[in-house]
Chain A
Amino acid sequence: MTPPKLRYIDPHVHMVSRTTDDYAAMAAAGVVAVIEPAFWVGQPRTEVGTFKDYFASLVGFERFRASQFGIKHYCTIGLNSKEANNEALAEEVIELLPRFAGKEGVVAIGEIGYDEMTKAEEKFFRVQLELAKEMDLPVMIHTPHRNKKVGTSRSMDVCMEHGIPPARVVIDHNNEETCKEVLDRGFWCAFTIYPKTKMGNMRMVDLARKYGSERIIVDSSADWGMSDPLAVPKTANLMLENGIPAAAVDAMCYRNALLAYGQSGQISESDWLDPAQIDPKREFEGNSLLRGGGPDTGRPETAGPDVRLIE
């Protein structure tokens, strides 16, 4: 396989639901950094403690897991819209958020917004927009699957009402029907390449042709469902094959995410370009047991000439 020409960021991917094989494949495909938004884990949570441990894993163990593959891991912290509907629990989760929002590598409050557009969702969406202001963090908005167009417009209205500049808000899960308004209003416009339910990547190529690359972001939102952690590099390759200029592909699949979430001060290109940053311990730990030059992938070495061998 030829080495990837471009570097990628997947700015929306739920790695807690993915395997080490996915991390290895992403690293091999050129993904240098991921942003993992706090989200619904499939099974509804019933205790605030499970949120606490989930948030802790986003700034703890998952970050370590990614680092084993040379991938930098960032996250967003927030109460998702679906679970905002359990109001008593939601109040407790909101109390917990400031404990995590100030951690290293937290690049936004998110993913927040609407699911059914209930009163409870509205209330906790607004509370969290205020938290984003207080913590000086950008916002990642999840737009609803049902009644998407109205939900997307309303999400932006509410952000404006709270005085949050569009340049500090990423509107995610857009489609052909929502993107024009999002771009016209000056928000970051993210597309989730997710088979069946969200965007397909040939449609993304067409959108790139129509709208260019400014403020457009491509992500996978890969999670516990049938999704693809290689959606960003695959889409980038499809774009290149279809004549989208490399600079535009770089913007949509790498640089725009960096610009949008870089406003947090918590993600910077030097995190993965400066070798000392990849593993600061390397600088002063001596060389006694450091293995070779590359990052420790932590992978069993099964890729030898005889792939039947497991040693």
Chain B
Amino acid sequence: MPAQTLLLDWLKTRIPTEGLAWLEEKAALMATGAPDKTIFASFSACVRHAGKAHLALSADDLQAARAAVPDWDPSDWTCDQAARVFLLLSMPSGPHSALVMDQMWQTADVGEAITLQKALAVLPYPEGHMARAREAIRSNIKAVFEAIATRNPYPSLHFDTVGWNQMVVKTFFVDVPLARVVGVDRRANPPLSRMLDDLAHERWAASRPFPPDLWRCVGPCADAKALADLKKVLATGSPVERRAAALALKSCPDPQAAAILSSDPTLEKAVRSGSLTWENLHDAP
């Protein structure tokens, strides 16, 4: 089922009938080329007609979302967000709809800005939204950054390496869990590995902590300096840091990494058997 149909289905059981009728009427207008003024006003008014309740989707709903769009995760979406994205999807997509969204973005309140970014998970014509997505990575409003950087497949599919790396590194500056970023392992690259290893050194120098998930993006492309750091963490880190180092070493194709990992047979066994993963890094005993 396409994303637009899913959104409408979810809203049908969650917002009042009048709100739904209003939404379908506006969507029909937007499908047939409503004036920009109507589009802007309708987009803003969604919150008044749909409310801000959490959609609270079931496991089946989330499965349907992934079937519609790989890696789409609307688990934190609210009714107003679903309604707004439903409206955006009803516009014929292309340069004009992208321009309309650029204008919406320029005058957006916080809720609208968040929604415009979440929408990128499901909007067609991805090339039309790149500048806006990159701008959200520069935002100082954490919720806007999170809307594009987490639970959203757009960056991993469309960002170039520079954009991707800036986004991943920024998660460590704004306390956004890396585990919520889509496509982390697939987009590993040597410059990112070096940037994050440098960041680890900065934090050590400042006596400031950082999430050990950082090593997840260092491991696959670790150079000699990073391997030395991973060796040190494996030997002297806290339990969770040592687990992270073991996982990072396992992901590194360099034979030296395997040699370092073998210095801790217990962790080596845990990562090789698959009992320890990045997903359960923080839960493991």
Contact = CB atoms under 8 A, between A and B. Distances in A.
Asked if A and B are interacting partners, one says yes
Interface of A: 52, 55-56, 59-61, 63-64, 98-100, 102-105, 265, 280-281, 283-285, 288-289, 291
A105 B142 CA distance: 19
Contacts of B93: none
Interface stretch (B41-49, B59-67, B159-167, B252-260): B41-49
B107 A100 contact: yes
B193 interface: no
A9 B268 CA distance: 58
15 contacts: A56-B106, A56-B108, A60-B109, A61-B140, A100-B107, A102-B41, A103-B112, A104-B47, A280-B52, A284-B75, A284-B76, A288-B177, A288-B179, A289-B177, A291-B175
Contacts of B47: 104
A244 to B, nearest CB: 37
A265 B51 CA distance: 13
B79 to A, nearest CB: 11
B78 interface: yes
Given A55-B107, A64-B141, 4 more contacts: A102-B41, A103-B112, A265-B48, A284-B56
B107 A102 contact: no
A56 B139 CA distance: 14
Interface of B: 37, 40-41, 44-45, 47-48, 52, 54, 56, 75-76, 78, 106-113, 140-143, 175-177, 179, 282
Contact of A64 (B56, B75, B110): B110
A266 to B, nearest CB: 9
B140 A280 contact: no
Nearest to B41: A102
B76 A63 contact: no
Contact of A283 (B54, B111, B143, B176): B54
A59 B109 contact: yes
Nearest to B146: A281
A104 B40 contact: no
Contacts of A55: 107
**Most chain A Cβ neighbours within 10 Å, of B48, B110, B142, B175:** B110
A102 B44 contact: yes
B107 A99 contact: yes
Nearest to A64: B141
A56 B52 contact: no
Contacts of B78: 280
